[in-house]
Amino acid sequence: MVIKIITSVIILTAFCCKDNTIQAQHNYTIDVRIDPSSYKMAYLSYKSTDKEIVDSVKIKNGKFKFSGSVSEPTLATLKLHAGAHTKPTRFSFYLDNETYKVSKGQKLHQLVEKSTINRLHTNYLKHLREADSLLRIVDRRWTDAGPTKRKEEAFFYELQTIRKPALALKNKLQLDYIANNPYSYFSLIALKETLGNPPNIQVFDEYYAKISDDIKRLPSSITLKKRIENHKAICIGATATDFSLPDTAGRLISLSDFRGQYVLVDFWASWCGPCRAENPNLLSAYQSFNKYGFTILGISLDYPGKEKDWIEAIKIDGLIWPQVSDLKGWKNEVAIHYQINSIPQNILIDPAGKIIAKNLKGDDLIKYLSSLL
């Protein structure tokens, strides 16, 4: 058996099942006896947290076996190959630390007949069936429409009249599922899907509390909880986390240096066209309101070796407020903490250090500052 692990080592834990008890089995076994015996190789692939696992084994006389362990249930694909010029047989299922078996004469899909996690998945899909059927209608009509029909505004809004209520229904059904199935792994899946982007903190707090402690201990649940806690730290009303970065002369400048002022933390870069186009608006705001206690702190996401480009852009655009950067591009830790995934973006912080607004641009920034100062 050959196992290829892409990225790093797997963390092995037990998955806790819906009856509030920890499963006694800590490993999975896939034992297959299948016809025809012309298949040569079997491949099992799945994701384990942030790692992709690919396992392979030779098939002898229609027999093969996989074994291993997963840290939590995960969607897996089993592929059977007969040869280089033959289309492989594929079967997707949820893999958990349990036994999967196909006896001679059975079909591959019977692999999951006695699987607890796949039975839970089936029940979860049945619970969502009414909403999913409506969404499939929308998808089918969009696919069948063709490129010309899709450009028609009336057709788009017609589909939206079906899609929006269907999504609202699915959201309701998923929240109902969480409330009634606290020990199901798919309550965690439902919670992830209903949160939205940016995540709805109120929904998370209410429904995460309903999920069992067993589910909360799963790696993906821990990651979700951390993501939400990080988001809470950068929401409007939160106290902005302090940071320090070097300016163009290498001097460290901290966010806390501006306490007592309204400060707009502006994320930009010399290579960013929309950022450069927005800079005149920032300059206008700075010149109009600086004397009333408003300032700007520019954070550049320029890349290593691009210090000259950064400094030149500051001069060309006439940026007369403090500018800082570690020249790490998107790996800038401040940008990562504040979940900056595109630029330009900004965060407005009040004199007490509280985040009071985000992404104010052009006239919106001027109007907002006029209401404050």
Band of the pLDDT at 226, cuts 50, 70, 90?
very high
What pLDDT shows up at residue 86?
A: 83
Q: Would 261 be classed as within a structural domain?
A: yes
Q: Are 325 and 332 in contact (CB under 8 A)?
A: yes
Select the more confidently predicted residue: 5 or 24: 24
Q: Are 325 and 254 in contact (CB under 8 A)?
A: no
Please check whether residues 362 and 277 belong to one and the same domain: yes
Q: Are 300 and 271 in contact (CB under 8 A)?
A: no
User: Does the structure show a pLDDT above 70 at 18?
Assistant: no
Band of the pLDDT at 2, cuts 50, 70, 90?
very low
Select the more confidently predicted residue: 88 or 122: 122
Band of the pLDDT at 262, cuts 50, 70, 90?
very high
Please check whether residues 166 and 151 belong to one and the same domain: yes
DSSP string, 306-345: -HHHHHHHHHHHT--S-EE--S-GGG-HHHHHTT--SSSE
Q: Would 245 be classed as within a structural domain?
A: yes
Query: 149-186, pLDDT tens digit by residue?
Result: 988 999 999 999 999 999 999 999 999 999 999 999 99
Band of the pLDDT at 322, cuts 50, 70, 90?
very high
Query: 187-196, pLDDT tens digit by residue?
Result: 999 999 999 8
Count other Cβ atoms within 10 Å, centred on residue 143. 9
What pLDDT shows up at residue 183?
A: 97
**In the chain, % of residues over pLDDT 90:** 83
**In the chain, % of residues over pLDDT 70:** 93
**How far is Cα 74 from Cα 93, in angstroms, rounded to an integer?**
8
Of 79, 94, 111, the last residue of a domain is: 111
Of the given ranges (19-33, 50-64, 184-198, 320-334), which has the lowest mean pLDDT?
19-33
Of 233, 257, 290, the last residue of a domain is: 233
What pLDDT shows up at residue 21?
A: 39
What pLDDT shows up at residue 20?
A: 41
Q: Would 175 be classed as within a structural domain?
A: yes
Look up the CATH number of the domain holding residue 352: 3.40.30.10
Structural domain range at position 78: 26-111
Band of the pLDDT at 68, cuts 50, 70, 90?
very high
Please check whether residues 208 and 266 belong to one and the same domain: no
Mean pLDDT for 262-276 is: 98
Query: 99-147, pLDDT tens digit by residue?
Result: 999 998 888 899 999 999 999 999 999 999 999 999 999 999 999 998 8
Q: Residues 6 or more apart from 369 whose CB is under 8 A from it?
A: 262, 285, 288, 289, 294
Q: Would 3 be classed as within a structural domain?
A: no
Please check whether residues 133 and 243 belong to one and the same domain: no
What pLDDT shows up at residue 245?
A: 98
**Which pTM was predicted?**
0.74
Q: Are 45 and 55 in contact (CB under 8 A)?
A: yes
What pLDDT shows up at residue 82?
A: 86
Q: Would 9 be classed as within a structural domain?
A: no
Q: Would 17 be classed as within a structural domain?
A: no
Q: Would 170 be classed as within a structural domain?
A: yes
Please check whether residues 210 and 296 belong to one and the same domain: no
Please check whether residues 43 and 78 belong to one and the same domain: yes
> In the chain, how many domains are there?
3
Q: Would 8 be classed as within a structural domain?
A: no
Query: 240-249, pLDDT tens digit by residue?
Result: 999 999 999 9
Mean predicted lDDT score pLDDT of the chain: 91
Please check whether residues 188 and 306 belong to one and the same domain: no
Please check whether residues 276 and 219 belong to one and the same domain: no
Q: Are 295 and 321 in contact (CB under 8 A)?
A: yes
Of 211, 233, 255, the last residue of a domain is: 233
Please check whether residues 262 and 219 belong to one and the same domain: no
**How far is Cα 70 from Cα 49, in angstroms, rounded to an integer?**
9
Q: Do the bridges between strand 41-48 and strand 51-58 make them parallel or antiparallel, or are there none, so unpaired?
A: antiparallel
Please check whether residues 266 and 362 belong to one and the same domain: yes
User: Does the structure show a pLDDT above 50 at 3?
Assistant: no
Look up the CATH number of the domain holding residue 81: 2.60.40
Please check whether residues 295 and 228 belong to one and the same domain: no
Please check whether residues 228 and 295 belong to one and the same domain: no
